[in-house]
Amino acid sequence: MRIPIHREGWPFIALFIAANGALYWLSPWLGVLFAPLTLWCIAFFRDPERSPPAGEHRLVSPADGVLLPIAQATPPAELEMGNEPRPRLSIFMNVFDAHVNRMPVSGEVIALDYRPGRFFNASFDKASVYNERMSARIRPAGHGDVKDDFAVVQIAGLVARRIVCDLRVGERVGRGARFGMIRFGSRLDVYLPLSAKIVIKEGSVTRAGETVLAELQG
């Protein structure tokens, strides 16, 4: 039976529980006051099961959160996807969202690149350019050209200090599969192929692995 907590969370959960126990030993009132923080820590690292909707051509959200304004932007240069702007869908995760990231579509990992950077608020547009990030280039199953590739970028936020990415170059991934997480509070950018049809509106609340963002053509 799988416990719905991401492995990254266990050290933090243990620390919060130990601190809570120590405070309760010193003063029951202190223990009660600290208890909501312990519960928040457990909730932050939750890793619920998700079921992608039918249709491999339907690109699902990589994160729980809120869809920020849709933009036209050039994918990270390190992924070598060209200089032509593409539709960029950005999902902002606050500290109360589940932070496990999931693969938007089935395909092959073509390239990965980690870049250190700043820690601006992840809801700011400049976070896509200046913040610490982990970028992945994915080629959807059944496609064989760079114009069909898409990018998914994990971006650290104001409080985030660790990006976890389990992907490997050459690996084949499934739609909705877990591939990492960011702690604490962050953003996911998805750069779409030009032919993709966006089916979600700005401001929509998303669920990783389930909410459909766009449909791939061809």
- Residues annotated as catalytic (active site), given as ranges: 186
This prediction has a pTM of 0.86
Residue 167 structure tokens: 């992907």
Q: How high is the mean pLDDT of the chain?
A: 88
Residue 125 has pLDDT above 80, yes or no: no
Place of tokens 């606050």: 94
**What are 22-65's pLDDT values in tens digits?**
988 988 888 889 999 999 888 888 888 888 999 888 999 999 99
Residue 1 pLDDT > 80: no
Region 107-130: mean pLDDT is 81
Residue in this structure with the two tokens 């993709």, named with its chain if needed: 196
pLDDT at 187: 87
Reading the block at residue 182, the tokens are 């960011």
* CA–CA separation, 195 and 25 (whole Å): 61
Given a cut of 60, is residue 160 above it in pLDDT? Answer: no
Domain spans, the chain: 7-44, 58-215
Q: What is the mean predicted confidence (pLDDT) over 11-29?
A: 90
CATH for 58-215 is: 2.70.70
What is the predicted pLDDT for the residue at 186? 81
